[in-house]
């Protein structure tokens, strides 16, 4: 058991309910009980269910380096890749009565994508999965230093961006500026100190205006854990010494 907020019974029930919901949806899709225009939406939601299942399993204490974990990660990636649609997950603004889709994700979708990439790095997913993810990001014209840093760990010949997208309306960098600084520090001692400070001071604060860090209070059993997988992925990619923050409550140390 790794999580300190909920108990084993909670996570066993969460997983049971999640698998039951997925089974029902697979049956409905097979039997044509979901309207064609809703199939892609349903399948994308199923993909995120697999992401939450993986996180819940980590919280429960499950071994994350098994074939079963790889299979579920692959199912998630396949569902996302095959059902991603133009402008899905993008930030929308309205200017002079016109709907404008910015080439940047909403905060929750940004976190989802970073978590998915980070989990893949930590469990050792194959390069094919990262290529599918990179295709989605390229299709959406997303330019983000952290995403690219993690993707290029697996896709060695991926182009290196020199600028990020305009964030006039939604400032990801205000929330993750320290983390993005970590990946650029050549001095690993400074990088590890900054990462420690991010985990201690910035990770929870990044969600201060979001319901994501209040999931454990929900009566609908939506909590899976507050792990900062991106921090562990950076440690793995950059080769940092994590001794000074290894016991931080948000750091998934069993994946390193």
Question: Has residue 172 got a pLDDT over 80?
Answer: no
The pLDDT of residue 245: 98
Label residue 133 by pLDDT band (50, 70, 90): very high
Q: What is the mean pLDDT of residues 210-235?
A: 91
Is residue 108 situated within a structural domain? yes
Q: Write a three-state SS string for the chain.
A: CCCCCCCHHHHHHHHHHHHHHHHHHHHHHHCCCCCHHHHHHHHHHHHHHHHHHHHHHHHHCCCCCCHHHHHHHHHHHHHHHHHCCCCCCEEEEEECCEEEEEEEECHHHHHHHHHHHHHHHHHCCCHHHHHHHHHHHHHCCCCCHHHHHHHHHHCCCCCCCCCCCCCCCCCHHHHHHHHHHHHHCCCHHHHHHHHHHHHHHHCCHHHCCCHHHHHHHCCCCCCCCCCCHHHHHHHHHHCCCCCCCCCCCCCCHHHC
Instruction: Identify the residue with better confidence: 196 or 92.
Output: 196
The pLDDT of residue 52: 98
Least confident of 19-23, 106-110, 239-243: 106-110
Is residue 2 situated within a structural domain? no
Is residue 245 situated within a structural domain? yes
Instruction: Identify the residue with better confidence: 66 or 209.
Output: 66
Q: What is the mean pLDDT of residues 226-254?
A: 97
Is residue 36 situated within a structural domain? yes
pLDDT tens, residue by residue, 7-57 = 999 999 999 999 999 999 999 999 999 999 999 999 999 999 999 999 999
The pLDDT of residue 89: 87
Is residue 162 situated within a structural domain? yes
Instruction: Identify the residue with better confidence: 220 or 2.
Output: 2
Least confident of 77-81, 158-162, 165-169, 226-230: 165-169
Q: What is the mean pLDDT of residues 96-107?
A: 88
Is residue 200 situated within a structural domain? yes
State how many domains the chain has.
1
Is residue 143 situated within a structural domain? yes
The pLDDT of residue 166: 66
Q: What percent of the chain has pLDDT over 90?
A: 78
Choose from 15-19, 183-187, 210-214 the range with maximum mean pLDDT. 15-19
The pLDDT of residue 194: 97
Average pLDDT along the chain:
93
The pLDDT of residue 168: 61
Label residue 114 by pLDDT band (50, 70, 90): very high
Label residue 96 by pLDDT band (50, 70, 90): confident
Q: What is the mean pLDDT of residues 174-195?
A: 93
Domain that holds residue 125: 8-255
Q: What is the mean pLDDT of residues 240-247?
A: 97
Is residue 114 situated within a structural domain? yes
């Amino acid at each position: 058991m790794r999580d300190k907020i909920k108990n084993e019974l909670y996570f066993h029930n969460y997983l049971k309910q999640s698998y039951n919901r997925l089974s029902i949806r697979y049956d409905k899709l097979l039997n044509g009980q979901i309207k064609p225009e809703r199939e892609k939406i349903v399948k994308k939601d199923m993909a995120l269910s697999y992401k939450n299942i993986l996180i819940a399993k980590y919280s429960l204490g499950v071994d994350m380096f098994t074939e079963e974990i790889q299979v579920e990660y692959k199912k998630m990636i396949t569902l996302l890749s095959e059902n991603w649609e133009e402008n899905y997950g993008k930030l929308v603004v309205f200017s002079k009565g016109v709907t404008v889709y910015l080439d940047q994700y909403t905060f929750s979708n940004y976190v989802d994508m970073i978590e998915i990439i980070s989990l893949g790095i930590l469990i050792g997913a194959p390069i094919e999965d990262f290529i599918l993810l990179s295709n989605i990001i390229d299709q959406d014209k997303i330019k983000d230093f952290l995403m690219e840093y993690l993707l290029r760990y697996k896709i060695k010949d991926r182009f290196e961006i020199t600028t990020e997208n305009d964030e006039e309306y939604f400032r990801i960098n205000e929330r993750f500026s320290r983390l993005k600084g970590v990946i650029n520090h050549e001095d690993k001692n400074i990088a590890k100190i900054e990462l420690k400070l991010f985990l201690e001071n910035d990770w929870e604060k990044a969600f201060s205006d979001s319901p994501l860090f209040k999931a454990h209070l929900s009566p609908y059993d939506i909590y899976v854990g507050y792990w900062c997988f991106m921090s562990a992925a950076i440690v793995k990619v950059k080769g940092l010494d994590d001794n000074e923050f290894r016991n931080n409550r948000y750091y998934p140390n069993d994946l390193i």
